[in-house]
């Protein structure tokens, strides 16, 4: 999709793309979905979704349950392929290259993912974080591995809480701590993009605040896409927000505009809490 | 309303009594068998049972050392044959197969599980003993190994399916190929369950007699290597119990007691390992 194709957004029927009239970001496009359609069997879960996700920004995807936002997120690292009977049309580009032309495991190293429920492996905290490196044939020696694990745990703002029990089971931690271990685990392979699928939905406000804070810290090195149920969270953490409804992307714009002056009535109804 | 409520009370009491009685009978049978075996077997058991070869009739101090070793060897071989096949089959069922194939495999393994053990003995006799020209420890191991496969397949499958899909997804999301995710995450998470399932499987075939009658046969002496007929505890019990000698009967009781203790030990160990929890997530 060329730059010229992006005409100013009119209120009614324009495709939901980034408006060039008010450039949202100077940063290059890291991840682009183009005309994405997605099917579970015969059911079409996504309709013609096009979004550009800019480098070093946080993009939030909001919408009511079942609107397709998680489905969309899972196509970005091709996790949808683990589910039988799904079909995808359209294109997704990472740095301008189709993700479907790449080795899927190499792609997932570049596009990391954190899930809704914390899902640490039944291993020690250290082994959880080291897993991504080990499984991809890391052989930088024990010293380097330890440094990488510490770096990841620090980035995930959990180092101080676990540094004395690295070799204990990750199951001994609280839900919020486990989720930060999962973030550290994803960060250990130095992903370029981090996808988060409602990472705080099972957490209390304090644990949530910690995760939101660490996301800000990750912006310089990661492009982040976060699916969230929580509109306040989207408003707090993200630079851009996309609003999904019934498998369609209703509106995509800077977070400020989406929450303060949305151009579509559906968006306004949702963000003001009139439904959903 | 009064008479009807009275009648209900009687029915209720009768049902309570009947079901309770049946529960008591089923537990009582086991307790009776255990008690009888412990009483008779324990009384006949001595150190020489574990160290000596069977003695000729009338001579005191005979034992079943050869049968103990023979049973050990047959069970070891059965495990080496049955568990790898059952384990890998279970991994295939849980991780790779489509719905239709899985249904067929499950159905067939359940059928195999229901095949009378004596039939398996005859099959192994035809396929192994007959071509080799003689009975052997090896043939006994093959027969019990085949008997171990169906339970191993199903228990492996069940414990693997109990591992949450989210763990597999987490491994995939870190760039792990499917086979590596299975080896490094899924199987370790289910390992405790799989091991205890294997032990229960072993405990089940440890007492099998019929398949061994046609394969390992029996032996009054040591059976070096894998290629000769071998004594085993269950067959020894069978032979000694139907013999007309009083001291052989005592030996059979002792052997039964030892076999029971062995099976109980394996059972209890397996269940203890399992109760320590296989996969229990938190948060």
Cα dihedral: B141, B146, B150, B153 (round 10):
70
Residue B276 forms contact with A (CB below 8 Å): no
Chain B residues with beta carbon closer than 8 angstroms to that of A202: 283
The sheet carrying A248-254 orders its strands as: A97-98, A86-94, A29-40, A43-54, A248-254, A240-245, A58-62, A223-227, A193-197, A111-114
pLDDT of A19 reads 46
Predicted pLDDT at A23: 53
pLDDT at B98: 86
pLDDT score for A9: 46
DSSP symbols for B38-84: HHHHHHH--HHHHHSPPPPTT-S----HHHHHHHHHHHHHHHHHHHH
Determine contact, residues B82/B145, Cβ cutoff 8 Å. yes
Please give the pLDDT value at position B137: 95
A208 touches chain B (CB under 8 A): no
Angle at A201 between CA A200 and CA A206, to 5 degrees: 50
pTM for this prediction = 0.84
* Residues of chain A with C-beta less than 8 angstroms from the C-beta of B184: 131, 134-135
A138/B contact by beta carbon, under 8 A: no
DSSP summary character for residue A101 = G
Tokens representing A264 are 């579509």
The verdict on a CB contact (< 8 Å) between B283 and A105 is no
Q: Do B171 and A131 touch (CB under 8 A)?
A: yes
Which tens digit of pLDDT belongs to each residue from A65-96?
889 999 999 999 999 998 888 999 999 999 99
Contacts of A265 (CB under 8 A, 6+ apart): none
Instruction: State whether residue B176 sits within 8 Å of chain A by CB.
Output: yes
- The question of ipTM being above 0.90 is answered as no
Tens of pLDDT, residue by residue, chain B (283 residues): 556 788 889 999 999 999 999 999 999 999 999 999 999 998 888 888 899 899 888 787 888 999 999 999 999 999 999 999 999 999 999 999 988 999 999 999 999 999 999 999 999 999 999 999 999 999 999 999 999 999 999 999 999 999 999 999 999 999 999 999 999 999 999 998 999 999 999 999 999 999 999 999 998 889 888 999 999 999 999 999 999 998 889 999 999 999 999 999 998 888 887 776 544 443 3
Chain-chain contact of A113 with B173 (C-beta, under 8 angstroms):
yes
Nearest CA in chain B to A116: B166
When pLDDT is cut at 50, 70 and 90, the band that residue A256 belongs to is very high
Res B276: pLDDT: 66
Angle, helices B65-91/B187-206, rounded to nearest 10 degrees: 140
Which residues fall within 8 angstroms of residue B198, CB to CB, at 6 or more apart? B79, B83, B87, B152, B155
Q: Determine the pLDDT at residue A239.
A: 94
């Amino acid at each position: 999709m060329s730059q010229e194709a992006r005409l100013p957004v009119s209120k009614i029927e324009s495709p939901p793309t980034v408006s060039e009239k008010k450039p949202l970001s100077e940063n290059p496009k890291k991840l682009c979905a183009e005309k994405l359609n997605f099917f579970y069997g015969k059911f079409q879960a996504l309709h013609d979704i096009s979004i550009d996700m800019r480098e070093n920004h946080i993009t939030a995807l909001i919408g009511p349950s079942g609107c397709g936002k998680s489905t969309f997120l899972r196509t970005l690292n091709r996790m949808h392929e683990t589910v039988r009977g799904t079909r995808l049309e359209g294109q997704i580009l990472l740095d301008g290259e189709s993700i479907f032309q790449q080795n899927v495991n190499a792609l997932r190293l570049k596009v990391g993912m954190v899930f809704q429920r914390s899902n640490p492996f039944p291993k020690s905290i250290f082994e959880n974080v080291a897993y991504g490196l080990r499984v991809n044939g890391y052989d930088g020696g024990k010293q380097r591995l330890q440094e990488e694990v510490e770096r990841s745990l620090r980035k995930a703002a959990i180092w101080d809480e676990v540094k004395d029990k690295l070799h204990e089971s990750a199951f001994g931690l609280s839900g919020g701590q486990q989720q930060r271990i999962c973030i550290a685990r994803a960060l250990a392979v130095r992903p370029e993009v981090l996808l988060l699928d409602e990472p705080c939905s099972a957490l209390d406000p304090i644990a949530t605040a910690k995760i939101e804070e660490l996301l800000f810290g990750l912006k310089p090195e990661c492009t982040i896409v976060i699916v969230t149920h929580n509109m306040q969270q989207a408003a707090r953490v993200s630079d851009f927000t996309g609003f999904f409804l019934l498998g369609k992307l209703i509106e995509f714009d800077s977070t400020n505009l989406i929450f303060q002056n949305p151009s579509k009535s559906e968006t306004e109804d949702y963000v003001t809490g009139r439904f959903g | 309303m009064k008479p009807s409520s009275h009648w209900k009370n009687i029915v209720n009491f009768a049902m309570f009594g009947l079901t309770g009685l049946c529960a008591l009978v089923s537990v009582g049978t086991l307790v009776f068998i255990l008690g009888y075996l412990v009483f008779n077997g324990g009384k006949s058991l001595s150190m020489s049972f574990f160290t000596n070869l069977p003695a000729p009739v009338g001579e005191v101090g005979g034992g079943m050392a050869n049968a103990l070793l023979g049973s050990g060897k047959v069970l070891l071989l059965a495990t080496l044959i049955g568990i790898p096949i059952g384990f890998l089959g279970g991994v295939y069922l849980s991780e790779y197969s489509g719905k239709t194939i899985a249904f067929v495999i499950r159905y067939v393994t359940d059928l195999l599980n229901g095949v009378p053990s004596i039939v398996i003995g005859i099959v192994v006799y035809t396929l192994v003993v007959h071509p080799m020209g003689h009975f052997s420890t090896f043939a006994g191991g093959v027969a019990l190994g085949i008997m171990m496969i169906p339970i191993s397949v199903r228990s492996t499958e069940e414990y693997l399916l109990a591992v949450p899909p989210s763990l597999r997804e987490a491994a995939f999301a870190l760039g792990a190929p499917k086979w590596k995710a299975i080896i490094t995450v899924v199987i370790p998470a289910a390992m405790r369950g799989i091991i205890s399932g294997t032990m229960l499987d072993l405990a089940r075939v440890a007492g099998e007699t019929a398949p061994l009658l046609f394969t390992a046969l029996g032996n009054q002496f040591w059976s070096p290597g894998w290629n000769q007929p071998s004594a085993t505890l269950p067959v020894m019990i069978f032979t000694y119990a139907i013999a007309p000698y009083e001291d052989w009967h005592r030996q059979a009781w002792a052997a039964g007691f030892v076999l029971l203790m062995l099976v109980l030990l394996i059972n209890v160990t397996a269940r203890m390992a399992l109760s320590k929890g296989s996969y229990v997530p938190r948060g």
